[in-house]
Structure formats: structure tokens, C-alpha cells
């Protein structure tokens, strides 16, 4: 027989199948909102694993529910935080405090995620032509067109750079070679 009584007189719970007194539920919810850790409330009142979560959702104050919402971070924000840590400008703990992130584990997961992305970018892949059979003329023509477009884009980029920076990037014909 489980008995739950505090300063106020709550109805006793004679078996686990019986419901808790609503006054007790509201008291427990209030205590959690005021800072009592959930694990401690579960232990103190002999609650099951999901009872307190259900009560907090059902009876928690508006203020409590607003503060529960997860803050989401954009990829740019995550990359900024990860870069700052990787460059040594701040530690994981400093980033957690500075950006109001709940746990260090969140930041550490971002670190590993972005490391994997960097590895994926750096993995060398075979060029298109190496994958294709020489007898496939359509594929070769397509690869040639792509290569010509790339050359045109690079030449345009060099032209713009030479114009804006006022320097000669291309080697001039007849220039002295050492």
C-alpha cells in the first residue's frame, strides 16, 4: 500500500491502479516548475517514468511550456560555432554558455557532423571520362562540352580578376623565362 501525504491532506493512494490526488499533482508540477529536478520528484513521490512528463504537459504553466521549446540553430550558426571551436577562439563549454545551448553533447554532435562533411568534400572521385567507355561517343561529346564550359568559366574568372585587381595573371607571350 503506497501512501503519499505532505503538509496538506491529500487522499491516500491505496494501490498503483488508483489515481493521484489532483492537488498533489498540481503541487508536484509547481515544484518542478520552481526548479525541482524531475528525477528527484520521481524519487520523492514514487512516480512512474512517464507520469511526471504527462502531468507537466497537461498541467504545466504557459510560461513553463514556452521555455520548453527547443531553440533551433541554422546551419550557418552551427558552422560559425564549430569554426570558432576548431580555430581555438573558444572552448565547447564557452560556446555552450555564449550561445545558450543546453548541453555540450549538442555542440559535440555538430563538430562530428561537420568533420564528416569536410571528409566527404575531400574524397577524391574519378573524373567523368575515366568512368565512361571510349566507344560511347555521346558521353565523350558531353564530357567535352562540360570541359569547354569549365575552361570558359575559368577564363572569365581570370579576366574579371585581372580587371578588378589591375594585375596580369596570364603569362604574356614573349616574356622572359628564367
Which of 100-104, 112-116, 165-169 is the least confident region? 165-169
pLDDT tens for each residue of 29-80: 898 888 888 888 888 888 877 888 888 888 888 877 776 666 778 888 888 8
Per-residue confidence (pLDDT) for residue 155, from 0 to 100? 81
Contact in structure between 85 and 114 (CB atoms under 8 Å): no
What are the pLDDT digits (tens) for 25-34?
889 889 888 8
Which pLDDT does position 69 carry in this prediction? Answer: 62
- pTM for the model stands at 0.36
Percent of the chain with pLDDT over 90: 4
* Average pLDDT value for the chain: 77
Mapped to the 3 state alphabet, what secondary structure does 110-128 carry?
A: HHHHHHHHHHHHHCCCCCH
The predicted pLDDT at position 97 comes to 85
pLDDT at 7: 46
Cβ burial, residue 81 (10 Å; 0-12/13-18/19+):
buried
Amino acid at each position: 500500500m503506497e501512501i503519499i501525504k505532505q503538509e496538506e491532506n491529500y487522499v491516500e493512494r491505496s494501490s498503483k491502479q488508483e489515481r493521484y490526488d489532483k492537488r498533489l499533482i498540481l503541487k508536484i508540477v509547481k515544484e518542478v516548475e520552481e526548479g525541482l529536478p524531475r528525477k528527484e520528484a520521481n524519487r520523492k513521490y514514487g512516480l512512474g517514468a512517464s507520469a511526471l512528463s504527462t502531468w507537466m504537459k497537461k498541467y504545466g504553466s504557459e510560461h513553463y511550456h514556452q521555455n520548453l521549446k527547443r531553440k533551433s540553430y541554422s546551419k550557418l550558426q552551427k558552422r560559425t560555432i564549430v569554426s570558432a571551436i576548431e580555430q581555438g577562439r573558444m572552448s565547447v563549454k564557452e560556446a555552450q554558455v555564449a550561445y545558450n545551448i543546453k548541453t555540450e553533447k549538442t555542440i559535440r554532435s555538430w563538430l562530428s557532423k561537420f568533420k564528416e562533411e569536410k571528409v566527404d568534400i575531400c574524397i577524391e572521385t574519378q573524373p567523368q571520362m575515366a568512368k565512361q567507355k571510349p566507344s560511347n561517343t555521346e558521353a565523350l561529346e558531353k564530357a567535352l562540352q562540360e570541359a569547354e564550359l569549365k575552361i570558359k568559366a575559368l577564363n572569365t574568372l581570370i579576366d574579371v580578376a585581372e580587371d578588378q585587381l589591375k594585375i596580369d595573371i596570364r603569362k604574356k607571350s614573349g616574356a622572359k623565362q628564367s
